[in-house]
Amino acid sequence: MTSSIDIPTVPLAGDVSIPQFGLGVFQVPPEETTENVLHAIEAGYRHVDTAKAYENEAQVGQAIRASGLERSEFFVTTKCFNDDHGYDSATRALKTSLGQLEMEHVDLYLIHWPVPSQDRYVETWQAFVEAQQAGLARAVGVSNFQPAHLRRIVDETGVTPAVNQIELHPYLQQQGLRREHADLGIVTEAWSPLAQGLVLDDPAIVAIAAAHGKTAAQVVLRWHIELGTVVFPKSATVGRIQENIDIFDFELSAEELAEIEALDRGERTGPDPDEFTRP
């Protein structure tokens, strides 16, 4: 196993810090997940983003144990899904996820979606705060929260989430929400950082890639790193897993960053967080 790649970390609350780059395993079938994560570990990844809803937590845990490395070398995130909102359900859901992962704690536990129509995310957040105090999650945060949802949990519990994991890529740059995060001291995590591949044919990105002798995916991932967001692209192929982590040997110029900034068109590839309710 190798780890010659020096991945930057971002501080979260307390003494916890998160590797700024990792592997996402959304839509990786369970029977392929162990091998997928092991390939990533071999390429130098030490951060994995899973969720109860991805149905592959057990295989993520297996890969980490099979790597032969210490658990403490890894940063593992999982998430509480929409059917587990509420104090008791969320408390149970974390214990179930830990059972699947066969771990004593996760590094980060997230509320996957706010599901405002259920109006239970404050209660869920209270359970998260207590789970962190009990040592079951080193840090706790949210995903797909809009500014009003963030303000409400902070106002009602006095505890600010360490991160908000949101859809973020060159076609959906989320300037307003990112400003809100900066005001509240919340770290931004980017999901679908490549817009599931949609941005990779963009002529501006292709031209920047050619100028650096890099691929379009590497340029987009590098842009995320330079924005300061935490990023974990998904890939099922070994070549792309290696390609995606190979972004720490070049920098984008201010002009190139401005060209990418100009690509924003407020385009979501995933659901609207105010409306997504899938149980």
**Of the residues 57, 243, 246, 256, which one makes contact with ligand NAD according to CB under 6 A:** 243
**54 given a catalytic annotation:** yes
Which residue's CB is nearer to ligand NAD, number 3 or number 269?
A: 269
**Of the residues 45, 49, 61, 100, which one makes contact with ligand NAD according to CB under 6 A:** 49
Number of residues in contact with ligand NAD under rule CB under 6 A? 25
Tell me, rounded to whole angstroms, the distance of Cα 9 from its chain centroid.
13
**Of the residues 233, 245, 247, 252, which one makes contact with ligand NAD according to CB under 6 A:** 233
Contact 53, 25 (CB under 8 A): no
CA 160 – CA 169 distance, rounded (Å): 24
Smallest gap from Cβ 130 to ligand NAD, in A, equals 22
CA 127 – CA 121 distance, rounded (Å): 10
Give residue for tokens 């003494």. Answer: 15
Span 102-161, contacts to ligand NAD by CB under 6 A: 112, 143-144
Span 50-109, contacts to ligand NAD by CB under 6 A: none
What are the CA-CA distances from residue 161 to residues 76, 138, 236, 251 (Å)?
A: 17, 12, 30, 30
Range list of β-strands (E), the chain: 9-11, 17-19, 23-24, 47-49, 75-80, 106-111, 137-143, 163-167, 187-191, 230-231
Smallest gap from Cβ 106 to ligand NAD, in A, equals 14
Which residue's CB is nearer to ligand NAD, number 26 or number 87?
A: 26
Smallest gap from Cβ 85 to ligand NAD, in A, equals 15
For residue 222, what are the contacts with CB-CB under 8 A and spacing of at least 6? 214, 247, 250, 251, 252
Interface ranges with ligand NAD (CB under 6 A): 24-26, 49, 112, 143-144, 165, 191-197, 200, 217, 232-235, 240, 243-244, 270
